[in-house]
Amino acid sequence: MTFCGAQRGANYAYIEGMGILSSDEQFVQLHDLIIGSSNVADFLSELSVVAASTLSDAAGVFIECGVTLRRRKRSATIAGSSERAAVLDKLEQVLGEGPCIASLDAMQPMVLSDVHTDTRWPDYQKVLAENGCRSVLGVPLALDRNQAAALNFFAAEPDVFAPNVIRTAEGFADLAGRALRLALRIADAQNLADDLKAAMANRTTIDLACGVIMAQNRCTQDEAMALLTKASSHRNQKLRDLAAEVLGRVSDGPVTTHFDP
């Protein structure tokens, strides 16, 4: 996606091929990104491109964007609209200082208007200057008590992030936060489904092994399970692995479990 001149403001963005988008239309677009992404990282990669395009239009200059995700008090760069944006975001995490980290700590936008005049983050500002970046804006995305994210915007010119540009960034961040919360919930649900699927596969293997033991020893299911558990403990072997071994002894080929997802 690329940007070009259009109406500017917190409630509108211009995306080439789509025209001017209202806040509702932007959220629909972000929702479509979720549907079209295979995982959260892919979604955030696409999100960074749309965020950079939206703010570039608002400011009238080229802006790049990195995305930081903080989970359990640890921050990491997840995506960037360009390789440079991702690198600059990662360097901020390594140094432990900068407007993006500050925005996550305060949960409010943080502006670095000019790396040559601001004195708050000297080490990071030196890195920015060496990479041709003069101004930065960090905007947090509220998720929940255990995690948050931030958009890290970079511009080659100083004083790019005027109040109207910041308002646009905040408006986009609100929509992006809602979309990211949805993406994370979907990912959590998928992880839970995968865990349940694995648990069902393990349970099926164990039940089949109990059936083999019942046939061989003419015992009840509870007695077969007790024998299997006792052998697992004595061998210091996982119950599922021992069950698979039992099945392997009575089958000429690999044993697989089958159930509808």
- 162-193 pLDDT, tens digit each: 999 999 999 989 888 887 776 666 555 455 44
pTM over 0.75: no
3-state secondary structure the chain: CCCCCCCCCCCEEEECCCEEEEHHHHHHHHHHHHHHCCCHHHHHHHHHHHHHHHHHHHHCCCEEEEEEEEECCEEEEEEECCHHHHHHHHHHHHHCCCHHHHHHHHCCCEEECCCCCCCCCHHHHHHHHHCCCCEEEEEEEEEECCEEEEEEEEECCCCCCCHHHHHHHHHHHHHHHHHHHHHHHHHHHHHHHHHHHHHHHHHHHHHHHHHHHHHHHCCCHHHHHHHHHHHHHHHCCCHHHHHHHHHHHCCCCCCCCCCCC
User: Between 144 and 32, where is the model more confident?
Assistant: 144
**Predicted local confidence at residue 223, as pLDDT:** 87
**What is the set of domains in the chain, with CATH numbers?**
12-190 (3.30.450.40), 194-249 (1.10.10.10)
**Nearest-angstrom CA–CA distance, 111 and 114:** 9
**Predicted local confidence at residue 95, as pLDDT:** 93
**Nearest-angstrom CA–CA distance, 65 and 180:** 16
**Nearest-angstrom CA–CA distance, 18 and 204:** 51
Q: What is the pLDDT of residues 237-249, one digit of tens each?
A: 887 788 888 888 8
User: Between 108 and 236, where is the model more confident?
Assistant: 108
How many other CB atoms are found less than 10 A from the CB of residue 111? Answer: 23
Lowest-confidence region among 71-75, 97-101, 131-135, 161-165: 71-75
**Nearest-angstrom CA–CA distance, 260 and 188:** 20
Give the residue-averaged pLDDT of 100-112: 95
**Nearest-angstrom CA–CA distance, 173 and 218:** 65
**Predicted local confidence at residue 29, as pLDDT:** 58
Q: What is the pLDDT of residues 29-66, one digit of tens each?
A: 555 565 555 576 777 788 889 899 999 999 999 999 99
At residue 153 the predicted structure's pLDDT band, cuts being 50, 70 and 90, is very high
**Predicted local confidence at residue 2, as pLDDT:** 28
- The CA radius of gyration of the chain, in Å to the nearest whole number, is 26
Which neighbouring-strand residues pair with 194?
A: none
**Predicted local confidence at residue 77, as pLDDT:** 81
Average pLDDT of every residue of the chain: 78
For residue 89, pLDDT beyond 90:
yes
